[in-house]
Amino acid sequence: MTLPDPSDRLSPSLGDSSWHDVLAALLVLWRDTRHPRVAEAIDEVSTRLDANTLCPGGPTLQKRLAAWNELESGRSVGSLRVLLRGLRGLRREPLADCLERLAAWPADPRLVAWHEAALDELSAELHLPHLVRLGDPRVLPALEALLTRCGAGTSRPVVELRERLRPAIATLARERVRAVSSADLAVIERLVGTARAQVATANQTRQQLFAEVFAHPADDARRAVLADFLQAEGDPRGEFIALQLAAELQPLRGEALRAERRLLATWGDEWLAPLSASILKGATFRRGFPSACALRVVRPEALDAPAWATIERIDASGLGAEAPGALFSMARMPALRWLNSIDPSIFEAPEPVAVETLVANYFWEPQLDALLKTTSFPRLRELLVDGSPVRLDPMKLDPLAAAPVGATLRRLACAIPDDATARWLRNLRTHRGPLTEVALSAVSGEWTMTLRPASTGLRIQAGQWATPELEARHRELLA
């Protein structure tokens, strides 16, 4: 039953107030009336406030709950839906603790909707007391449907559920909805229309600004514009982008450094969400976006995510030889400059790849043959070959210099078996290719050396040896 109440409660000028003030006024009206249209308006206005606000997070449950508790302690009406989204996936005990904290808040239709959506036979004991306290008769159909599903069952859980449901239904049936004046309804409709329009505009602007960053990942000016917009919208990522852009000019210290770390610990998992199905934990952020990661699996449906555009370094070595070369298409990763992969198909990428440094663990003949033929790596300057055993024959250096990648390749670093040292150094003595540096190290760890061009070939510039005799022997081989 709806009780008459003709008085006007909302000021016609409410639309000139902040959205937080609008939400507060609507909540007061709903607590007085329990009117469903007011509840719907509260949901619309909440969307304007928090549509793009992320849930509190963290690398562990303890830190996630700490971030949630910190946000809850502020008691901001604009953060309630964010807090409710942060409850997803919690086990019963921490969930019950969080709900007890929210029970201290004044009645709110957004709490009603959350409890109603979560209500089922197994969780009724947790949610029914909150629904009764909130006193919204809109949930009666859901409770009656749950009671009907109980039927005439005689098992102890069913009997206990019926005993909880019947008094809850009786209590809520006594609640009355009060009418809202036509003038207030008109104010509500104007507010809802404005909120919807602003949400649509903000979402469109947000998408455009992110698209600009992904289309031009090297341009920090575009990232700065996005940071300003996100900060104005109350999105913590705006502050994070701004802090990391500042760190490019000068290392962060003190409170700025602590703020950066706190934001990343709280929201980092959410910001990685578009890529998280394909990457391992521990991705690196730079200039506000993911910049380096290790792949754990290839999921083609996730590889079209625009967020790959800011990735500069990828370690795909854990995938073995299963990663498709198309994965590294410049269409998805225009910022990619460093790649660790042993998959020979990467050299068959359909478009030119901007990778400048290639790391290849366990470099075998298939990888080398593919490297000699590829035209997909026109900017490759550094080849790092590591692993044991390594099968990069020094006699391949001249063909490598003559290959398409030889036009840009300038540095080669290899870990080689001890029994291959003499063959490598004799070949390097006569090498006249474009390499400006060769860094060699023993798989055994007994020596390392860096060689640079000289008039008669490559010569030792620096090195470390386990014994003076070993150094003398190496220098003799290059003489």
Q: Write the pLDDT tens digit of every residue in 262-279.
A: 899 888 888 988 888 788
Taking the C-alpha atoms of residue 115 and residue 130, their distance in angstroms, rounded to an integer, is 8
Q: What is the identity of the amino acid at 227? A: A
Q: Is 479 helix (H, G, I), strand (E, B) or coil?
A: coil
Taking the C-alpha atoms of residue 18 and residue 26, their distance in angstroms, rounded to an integer, is 12
Phi, psi of 392 (to 5 degrees): -90, 105
- Determine the average pLDDT of the residues in 292-309: 80
Quote the mean pLDDT of the chain. 85
- What pLDDT was estimated at residue 243? 96
* Per-residue pLDDT band at 5 (split at 50, 70, 90): low
Q: With a cut of 70, say whether residue 327 has pLDDT above it.
A: no
**pLDDT tens-digit series, residues 407-438:** 898 998 888 877 778 888 877 777 767 788 88
Contacts of the segment 244-251: beta carbons below 8 A, 24+ positions apart: 244/285, 244/286, 244/287, 244/288, 245/220, 245/287, 245/288, 248/220, 248/287
Residue 173, token pair as written in the block: 């049936």
Q: What is the identity of the amino acid at 101? A: R
* Per-residue pLDDT band at 316 (split at 50, 70, 90): confident
Q: What is the identity of the amino acid at 162? A: R
Q: With a cut of 50, say whether residue 389 has pLDDT above it.
A: no
Taking the C-alpha atoms of residue 23 and residue 110, their distance in angstroms, rounded to an integer, is 12
- Determine the average pLDDT of the residues in 435-445: 86
Query: Where is pLDDT greater, at 209 or 64?
Result: 209
Query: Where is pLDDT greater, at 250 or 299?
Result: 250
User: Which candidate, 34, 29, 42, places its Cα nearest to that of 131?
Assistant: 34
Q: How far is CA 155 from the centre of its chain?
A: 46
**pLDDT tens-digit series, residues 38-94:** 999 999 999 888 866 667 676 678 888 988 998 899 888 888 998 998 898 889 999
Residue 42, token pair as written in the block: 């509260």
Query: What is the H or E stretch that residue 167 is in?
Result: helix 156-173
CA distances from 147 to 112, 128, 160, 371 (A): 18, 12, 11, 69
Q: Are 252 and 345 in contact (CB under 8 A)?
A: no
Residue 264, token pair as written in the block: 């990343």
- Determine the average pLDDT of the residues in 137-162: 89
- Determine the average pLDDT of the residues in 225-253: 94
- DSSP state, residue 174: T
Q: With a cut of 90, say whether residue 251 has pLDDT above it.
A: yes
Q: With a cut of 80, say whether residue 398 has pLDDT above it.
A: no
Residue 200, token pair as written in the block: 């649509």
**pLDDT tens-digit series, residues 16-29:** 788 899 999 999 99
Among the listed ranges 6-15, 119-128, 141-150, 318-327, which one has the minimum average pLDDT value? 318-327
- What pLDDT was estimated at residue 252? 94
User: Which candidate, 288, 185, 281, places its Cα nearest to that of 231?
Assistant: 288
- What pLDDT was estimated at residue 362? 65
